[in-house]
Amino acid sequence: MSTKLEPLTVEHLWRCERLGTPAVSPDGRWVVIDQTTYSMESNESETQLWLYATDGRIRRQLTQAGKKNTAPAWSPDGRWIAFCAKRGEGKDADGAPQLYVISPEGGEARRVTTVAGGVSGIRWFPDGKRIAAIAWRWPELRGERAQAARRKELKESKVQAKIIETDNYRYWDHWICDGSRPQLVEITVATGKVRALFEGHAEWSLGLGDPGATSYAISPDGGEIVWVQPTEVTRLISPDRLMRLDLASGKARPLATEALPEMWLGSPIYAPDGRALAVLATPASAPSQHTRLMLIDVKRGSARRLAPAWPRSVGTHGSANPAFTPDGEAILFSAEDAGFQHLYRLALDADAPEVVAEGGQIGAFSQSADGTRLAFTRASIDHPARLMTLAVGVDAEPRRLDRTNGFLDKIALGPSESRTFTGWNGEPVQAFICYPPGYRKGRKYPLLQDIHGGPHAAHLDTWHYRWNMHVFAAQGYVVAAVNYHGSSGFDEPFLGSIDGDLGHREFADIEAVTDALIAEGVADPKRLYAAGGSYGGYMVAWINGHTDRYRATVCHAGVYNWVSQFGDDGYLWLHHELGTWPWEDPARWHRQSAHSFAANFKTPTLVIHGELDYRVPYYEGLEHYNTLRAKGVPARLVIFPDENHWILKPQNSGLWYREFFDWLKRF
């Protein structure tokens, strides 16, 4: 007797256990990874560390205490695993994430630090006795007591006004204008003693936007650190330079400044012999160019681009995390390719990299000390991230280690595929098409265009929790996810084609896919819908101003008016996207703004926004909604006072999906 499978729902998404960043033990026998579970009932999450034997025979939960245990890192001798966590209750509670260490054999973890602002972005020194970390500190203060006193004073003050004279003062959902800066500290593991490496140097700082372990590198001999230093410390968007700190003397000097002019830099890594350094670099003056992998001669300060003719970008979506192979002859990294993200190996003298493991989407990866064992996460449209391992030169295919999310085997998923369509100007455009469960060829289905943000991002062959194509398809839609002109994962002409002329090519690509699916008899021309978030929300408003053939649309956190968008946290980027500053050519800004076409609005639209969204401030959603209401176009507004650019809380997500589907069903 066959068992009928359930359709995929938002409740299933929140039942999924989500894998974080894997770390392979130095001997290659173990992988530790942070895994997060959510509760729709309690509206909370819990993250614990799990340990897996790479032969697949053992898996066990390593941490038990606390609810936020993240960023595991093995000591060089494999005896300890360091991680960051907030633990304790009452007066003994960690006020911010602290450094802990635990034996891979189990037992209780030991708290190492009591830093008032907490630590993050940890890396072991080669001696296994010290750990480098990032701590937010006031550069004019000296000593831990002074830092803690300032933090306590600001927290307890009855006046919470923000007084600003800096270029950037907010980031995504929090303020960054209290004068503190992300700095590097050195922690002695045995005693917890903290040495502030930047103290006394107010000009030294990591970047204000999400600094982490990829913001710096420790030399193989442990004698120096290289970090990414913004040229304008208070700007989120600023060319960077590499700074080289001698730990014995405490002195620092720039590295390869002339060889890397006007570049945004990231993920520096030392070669095993310490003579070379690799870094990701993107031209700051032309942000739609590819991110390059640059090799620097540490002694001479010279630099050269590796595989300069390879027509793809290294370092998209923050998961390139490059690493030298132990012999120093090649670099591993993950990168996008036409909707997929693979793990690559690039020999230093090669013209192009070779694929080590294919996506789906390969996320973060780790390798053993001798390079014979790899571990990484791999997701696809059809399943959440899985923990995979590969014995280099032995395994023909990666093997799965985890056993998470087995309940999805009883969920009905429709087929999905990657296709190429003819888009704007007759050029090829890639898209993913996801069909509902039980899809029958020859039958016409309602079509939902799922439009990605960015715009220089992409739909990937991955499992998305906030915009899951299979959850949409389970409602009976054929879902199209178009990687329109400007999307990442393609060559530079395609990536930069929309700069200074937003809306037109993207719209043509989306419409071309809609037309093709109608012509193929897949999509019902009387039941067309569109939804998008961020820049995808901008495209929803743009579509409304240029056609009325869609029955209803959903705009989440969407840019509506480029002029008012100048109040966002990334306003210094906008002249790159629109081709000019708003005061230099106002007409050009208006030609690219969705609000300029409001006279044509006819399509019923659901507008959703979070009040804590500083990337696309929530007043963009209010202006969009108010315009629709003033014109008499059916519109509904959902505001989340406790969410930012994304809907991150389980119960809020449940409401988001219900509102989304109910709105489309009304039309």
What per-residue confidence (pLDDT) applies to 320? Answer: 58
Q: How far apart are CA 121 and CA 124, in angstroms?
A: 10
- Give the pLDDT confidence of 494-542 residue by residue, as tens digits: 999 999 999 999 999 999 999 999 999 999 999 999 999 999 999 999 9
Over range 143-159, report the average pLDDT.
Answer: 95
Over range 27-48, report the average pLDDT.
Answer: 96
- Give the pLDDT confidence of 317-363 residue by residue, as tens digits: 445 589 999 999 999 999 999 999 999 999 999 999 999 999 999 99
Please determine, for residue 1, whether its predicted confidence score (pLDDT) is greater than 50: no
Please determine, for residue 2, whether its predicted confidence score (pLDDT) is greater than 60: no
Return the higher-pLDDT residue of 315 and 228.
228
Tell me the pLDDT band of 316, cut-offs 50, 70 and 90.
low
From 18, 65, 10, 19, select the one nearest 38 (Cα to Cα).
18
What per-residue confidence (pLDDT) applies to 106? Answer: 87
What per-residue confidence (pLDDT) applies to 112? Answer: 97
From 130, 152, 155, 156, select the one nearest 141 (Cα to Cα).
152
Q: How far apart are CA 20 and CA 72, in angstroms?
A: 10
What per-residue confidence (pLDDT) applies to 321? Answer: 82
Please determine, for residue 443, whether its predicted confidence score (pLDDT) is greater than 90: yes
* 91, HSE (Cβ side, Cα atoms, 13 Å): 0
Please give the structure tokens belonging to residue 304: 């050269």
- Give the pLDDT confidence of 568-615 residue by residue, as tens digits: 999 999 999 999 999 999 999 999 999 999 999 999 999 999 999 999
Convert 562-620 into a string of H (helix), E (strand) and C (coil).
Answer: CCHHHHCCCHHHHHHHHCCCCCCCHHHHHHCCHHHHHHHCCCCEEEEEECCCCCCCCHH
- Give the pLDDT confidence of 164-223 residue by residue, as tens digits: 999 999 999 999 999 999 999 999 999 999 999 999 999 999 999 989 999 999 999 999
Over range 554-579, report the average pLDDT.
Answer: 96
Tell me the pLDDT band of 455, cut-offs 50, 70 and 90.
very high
- Give the pLDDT confidence of 76-97 residue by residue, as tens digits: 999 999 999 998 876 667 789 9
What per-residue confidence (pLDDT) applies to 95? Answer: 84
What per-residue confidence (pLDDT) applies to 3? Answer: 60
- Give the pLDDT confidence of 241-300 residue by residue, as tens digits: 999 999 999 999 999 888 898 999 999 999 999 999 999 999 987 768 899 999 999 999
For a pLDDT cut of 90, what percent of the chain falls above it?
93
The angle formed by the CA atoms of residues 464, 470 and 473, to the nearest 5 degrees, is: 135
Q: How far apart are CA 624 and CA 626, in angstroms?
A: 6
Radius of gyration of the chain (CA): 25
Q: Which structural domains are found in the chain, ordered by start?
A: 413-666 (3.40.50.1820)
Answer positive or negative: Cα dihedral of 523, 526, 527, 529: positive
H-only helix segments in 314-468: none
β-bridge pairing 552-556 and 478-483: unpaired
What per-residue confidence (pLDDT) applies to 287? Answer: 65
Cβ 33 vs Cβ 22: under 8 Å: yes
